[in-house]
Amino acid sequence: MLAESIYVKVVATNFYGDSPQSLAGNGAQMQLVPDAPISLANNKAVTDAFKIGLTWKAGASDGGSPVLDYTVYYSIDGGSLEAFEPVTTTSYVTTVELVPGGIYVFKITARNSVGSSVPSATVTIKAARIPDPPANVQTVTMLSTNVVVSWNLPYDGGASISSYTIVIMTASGSYVEDMTNCDGRNPTILAQRTCTIPITALKAVPYSHPWGASIFVKVLATNEAGPSAFSVAGNGAIILTLPEAP
């Protein structure tokens, strides 16, 4: 068993026979380097365009001697590995100046009084976080036939925005996507940050708005780190038509 003391007795032998056994001596312990750390992962609560957070767990065995510290190694876009200063906790935040959107590779070793473990499995992390919610969401009625939705480009978190999700409030107060007219994956809508909904669609199921309703819309942005929170609901459009003849 690791960390057990090793006890030894010695007998001397000459022509006349064996001596009595010596007193038991010890001082040596069975110790090895620790196992490699496991579960090295991106700490998404910390990582953004300018820093990367890491978490990991100690390996199954400390080798019979407590782990003293961990060393985090990193490379930029597949380059040579460099080491940070050793840390004593199982979490770390990078202190180098990161390139927003840069790809970084990490691995980690554990050290005890015997020496350092083999490296952990590597993990690849982009210096990015989820985007901010879109701002200034507006709806405008155009020519009594359409409602135009628009919003401002949010901070992308260090990774390009790949899509938007646009949800429209129904007459009952719930929010539903219009994938026909406001599909935020559409390259034109993605680039221009605007979409147009026919008033006939807003009056039909599932929206079921009556004439005179105010149209509320929320928008979220998504990049490869994940989706933002939804924006504050924006409105401004009221669906109107000409009155019927007397």
Dihedral, CA atoms, 220, 235, 188, 180, nearest 10 degrees? 90
Nearest to 32 by CA among 72, 60, 73, 74: 60
Tokens of 189: 């809508």
Residues 88 and 140 in one domain: no
Q: Is a pLDDT exceeding 90 seen at residue 245?
A: no
Residues 163 and 96 in one domain: no
Domain span at residue 82?
38-126
Residues 234 and 140 in one domain: yes
Range name among 62-66, 79-83, 135-139 with the lowest pLDDT average: 79-83
* Cα–Cα distance measured from residue 38 to residue 76, given in angstroms and rounded to the nearest whole number: 22
Is residue 15 situated within a structural domain?
A: no
Residues 73 and 121 in one domain: yes
Q: Is a pLDDT exceeding 90 seen at residue 184?
A: yes
Highest mean pLDDT among 6-15, 219-228, 234-243: 219-228
H/E stretch holding 109 reads strand 103-111
Is residue 190 situated within a structural domain?
A: yes
Question: Which residues lie closer than 8 Å to 228 by C-beta, 6 or more apart?
Answer: 130, 131, 132, 133, 134, 154, 220, 221, 222
CATH number where 62 lies: 2.60.40.10
Range name among 5-14, 144-153, 216-225 with the lowest pLDDT average: 5-14
Predicted confidence band at 242 (pLDDT cuts at 50, 70, 90)?
low
Is residue 245 situated within a structural domain?
A: no
Mean pLDDT of 82-96: 88
Is residue 7 situated within a structural domain?
A: no
* 116 DSSP assignment: B
Query: Which residue, 95, 126, 157, sits at the end of a domain?
Result: 126
Query: Which residue, 84, 99, 126, sits at the end of a domain?
Result: 126
- Residue with the larger pLDDT of the pair 28 and 200: 200
Residues 140 and 192 in one domain: yes
Classify 213 as helix, strand or coil: coil
Residues 83 and 60 in one domain: yes
Query: Which residue, 60, 92, 126, sits at the end of a domain?
Result: 126
Q: Is a pLDDT exceeding 70 seen at residue 101?
A: yes
Are 204 and 188 a contacting pair, CB within 8 Å? no
Structurally, the chain folds into a number of domains equal to: 2
Q: How far is CA 241 from CA 104, 128, 146, 210, 235, in A?
A: 56, 46, 11, 11, 18
Q: Is a pLDDT exceeding 80 seen at residue 7?
A: no
Q: How many other β-carbons are positioned within 10 Å of the β-carbon of residue 47?
A: 25
Residues 147 and 66 in one domain: no
Residues 149 and 228 in one domain: yes
Classify 227 as helix, strand or coil: strand
- Residue with the larger pLDDT of the pair 232 and 19: 232
State residue 2's pLDDT score: 59
Residues 119 and 158 in one domain: no
Is residue 17 situated within a structural domain?
A: no
DSSP line for 51-82: --EEEEE--S--TTS---EEEEEEEETT---E
Q: Is a pLDDT exceeding 80 seen at residue 64?
A: yes
- Residue with the larger pLDDT of the pair 116 and 27: 116
- Residue with the larger pLDDT of the pair 100 and 195: 195
Tokens of 21: 């056994």
Residue with tokens 């009595």: 20
Residues 117 and 161 in one domain: no
Burial class (CB in 10 A: 0-12, 13-18, 19+), 218: buried
State residue 79's pLDDT score: 78
Residues 142 and 230 in one domain: yes
Is residue 6 situated within a structural domain?
A: no
Residues 145 and 108 in one domain: no
Give how far the C-alpha of residue 46 lies from the chain's centroid of Cα atoms, to the nearest Å. Answer: 8
Is residue 9 situated within a structural domain?
A: no
Is residue 27 situated within a structural domain?
A: no
Q: Where are the beta strands (DSSP E) in 153-227?
A: 163-169, 175-177, 194-198, 214-223, 226-227
State residue 17's pLDDT score: 81
Q: Is a pLDDT exceeding 60 seen at residue 80?
A: yes
Q: Is a pLDDT exceeding 90 seen at residue 99?
A: no
Dihedral, CA atoms, 48, 51, 57, 62, nearest 10 degrees? 180
Kindly report the average pLDDT of the chain as a whole number.
Answer: 91
Predicted confidence band at 98 (pLDDT cuts at 50, 70, 90)?
confident
Q: Is a pLDDT exceeding 90 seen at residue 128?
A: yes
